[in-house]
Amino acid sequence: MGIDLRTFLIEQGYTNVTMLPTGEVACLYKFMFTTGLIVGVTKFGYRIRFCFEQAQDAAEALKSWDGNGYPPGNWIKAKGTDDFGNLIDELNPNLEQVII
């Protein structure tokens, strides 16, 4: 990851900019209601994001994750593409479904 990309991402509001063992850049970004663990980040976009309710949970997941499969923890939603370019729009299967 070039110094220019890290600087650019920080200027855009991304935090915890990290190079995963897979070679992809990942970071955190605060959305209106969630914190996204953003993966495959470039100056032009990203490959996939995992939305967490709590920023601390997203930070812990990023810190402990090797970039393979899905990150650990209680992410709520995954949106983007997988490693093969297939579209992903999934709820975390490990979360209990809430019946209203």
Predicted model pTM: 0.88
Per-residue confidence (pLDDT) for residue 100, from 0 to 100: 43
Q: Tell whether 31 is covered by a domain.
A: yes
Cα–Cα distance for residue pair 19/54, rounded to 1 Å: 22
* Greatest CA separation for the chain: 48
Provide the number of structural domains found in the chain: 1
Read off the tokens for 86. Answer: 């297939």
Cα–Cα distance for residue pair 87/85, rounded to 1 Å: 6
Q: Tell whether 100 is covered by a domain.
A: no
Q: Tens digits of per-residue pLDDT, 31-45? A: 999 999 999 999 999
Read off the tokens for 26. Answer: 């990942």
Pick from 89, 7, 99: nearest CA to 27: 7
Q: Tell whether 99 is covered by a domain.
A: no
Q: Tell whether 41 is covered by a domain.
A: yes
Q: Tell whether 97 is covered by a domain.
A: no
Q: Tens digits of per-residue pLDDT, 7-58? A: 999 999 999 999 999 999 999 999 999 999 999 999 999 999 999 999 999 9
Percent of the chain at pLDDT > 90 equals 82
Q: Tell whether 26 is covered by a domain.
A: yes
Q: What's the domain range around 15?
A: 3-91
CA distances 34 to 1, 15, 58, 69, 90, Å, are 26, 14, 9, 21, 15
